[in-house]
Amino acid sequence: MPGHTVAFGPGRVNLIGEHTDYNDGLALPFAIDAGVRVSATATGDQSIRAHALDLGASDTYMLGGEAPSPGGWRAFVRGATAELAAAGLPLRGATLEIEGTIARGAGLSSSAALEVALCLALLALADADVVPPWPLARICSQVENEWVGANTGLLDQLASLCGRENAAMRIDFRSGVIVPVALALGEWRLVTLDSGVRHSHAESGYNDRRRECAQACEALGISSLRELEPAMLGRLAAPLDARARHVLEENARVDATVDALARGDLPAVGALLDASHASLRDLYEVSTPELNAAVDTLRAGGAAGARMMGGGFGGSVLGLLPPGALAPDGAIEVRPGAGARVLER
Ligand code: GLA
């Protein structure tokens, strides 16, 4: 049994396919190089002593004594041990040291990176069998749903767990099939630009949008918006019709992006990013003036397309820059990197 383990969970960028994951739809994310590193050292008893090194903050509790959950980063740690135990997985007491290279609340899934790194480090410390991506993503998302209060889907966790170099992943949330899609950008670049507005899915309108999608399904008598046919849209009252239209068209944009990438048609990918942003802004109504301004900045610098990314209400935008286009101040180049991994055991 190892006495010490280290795991890394990357953040993610979602190329396209937003607010589709919890609607049994399609998305095309990739893992990035920045993320969260967790080291776990066995304490020899049932105690967890967690230290968030960047924050200079600590939390101590006993396994099985996680509740009541305090807020902030402690909720993720307590949630992770509680949900791993609830899933019947082995656990040992540990000193946990958490260190991130990814901005919190900037829309690059610092939360999923933390959940994934915590789970991998703890499971490795207990010498547990490898848990496959879908069940592990579900455990991580339970942490977010039950302990943090954000009713998020599985996009971020799967992207973090399944990342690979030079490829995005087409995730089909209905069938469970994940297919790598080569991201051959040549001289083109993908960059993120922080809108400067921090977001928290627990406090934004994210949970409201999920509720609206469930209401649309109920009104139509379907089990998920993946079953939606264009002809059904007329049967929905506003704003549910607009929400549903976004999901329907965003799923189609994911496959159009996969096709455009296969053809090497990057201008077409740019146009799809623009269309996604317009839909998130006007139909799904999860953008903000700051996100729209960040998109405009990228476009003014010559981006072939740009869009808000993630849940919205703050965070970062993504832009696709052709050769020679200017990356604005503060923009960070992103490229697909390897998925979550145990670094030491
Ligand atoms: C957040 C959530 C994901 C997903 C996106 C929107 O990142 O954590 O589950 O719903 O928003 O696509």
Q: How far apart are CA 321 and CA 185, in angstroms?
A: 10
Condensed to tens digits (0 to 9), the pLDDT of residues 138-187 reads 999 999 999 988 889 999 999 999 999 999 999 999 999 999 999 999 99
Q: How far apart are CA 80 and CA 187, in angstroms?
A: 41
Q: How far apart are CA 228 and CA 209, in angstroms?
A: 17
Place of tokens 């700051």: 290
Neighbouring-strand partners of residue 321: 189
- Whether residue 133 is preceded by a cis peptide bond, meaning omega within 30 degrees of 0, is no
Side by side, which strands form the sheet with 57-62? 57-62, 47-52, 94-100, 29-42, 4-14, 341-344
Q: Where are the domains of the chain?
A: 4-178+337-344, 184-333
Distance (Å) from CA 341 to ligand 1 centroid: 22
CATH number of this structure's domain 4-178+337-344, picked from the four choices 3.30.230.10, 2.40.110.10, 3.40.50.2300, 3.90.550.10: 3.30.230.10
Hey, what CATH topology would domain 184-333 get? Alpha-Beta Plaits (3.30.70)
Question: Going by CA atoms, what residue is nearest to atom 2 of ligand 1?
Answer: 152
**Phi and psi at residue 22, in whole multiples of 5°?**
-80, 5
Indicate the range of 61-70, 86-95, 333-342 predicted with least confidence: 61-70
Distance (Å) from CA 236 to ligand 1 centroid: 24
pLDDT at 133: 98
Residue of 15, 19, 108 best suited for mutating to test ligand 1, as the one with most atoms within 8 Å of CB = 19
Residues touching ligand 1 (Cβ under 6 Å) are 18-19, 21-22, 152-153, 155-156, 201, 310-311
Element (H, E) at 14: strand 4-14
Q: For residue 126, which amino acid is it?
A: A
User: Considering 24, 45, 54, 156, which one is annotated as catalytic?
Assistant: 156
pLDDT at 202: 65
- Residue 282 designated active-site: no
Please choose, from the candidates 305, 319, 307, the residue with its C-alpha nearest in 3D space to the C-alpha of residue 267: 305
Atom index in ligand 1 nearest the CA of residue 107 equals 7
Atom index in ligand 1 nearest the CA of residue 112 equals 8
Residue 129 DSSP class: P
Length of the chain: 345
Task: Give 148 or 7, the one with higher predicted confidence.
Answer: 7
For residue 153 the two structure tokens come to 């889907």
Please choose, from the candidates 263, 260, 262, the residue with its C-alpha nearest in 3D space to the C-alpha of residue 274: 260
Condensed to tens digits (0 to 9), the pLDDT of residues 260-315 reads 999 999 999 999 999 999 999 999 999 999 999 999 999 999 999 999 999 999 99
Q: How far apart are CA 264 and CA 295, in angstroms?
A: 23
Q: Strand 316-321 to strand 305-308: parallel, antiparallel, or no bridges (unpaired)?
A: antiparallel
Q: For residue 176, which amino acid is it?
A: G
Contact (CB, 8 A) for 27 and 21? yes
Please choose, from the candidates 244, 232, 231, 233, the residue with its C-alpha nearest in 3D space to the C-alpha of residue 23: 244
Neighbouring-strand partners of residue 170: 179
pTM exceeding 0.95: yes
Distance (Å) from CA 151 to ligand 1 centroid: 9
The share of the chain scoring above pLDDT 70, in percent, equals 99
Grouping H, G, I as helix, E, B as strand and the rest as coil, residue 137 is: helix
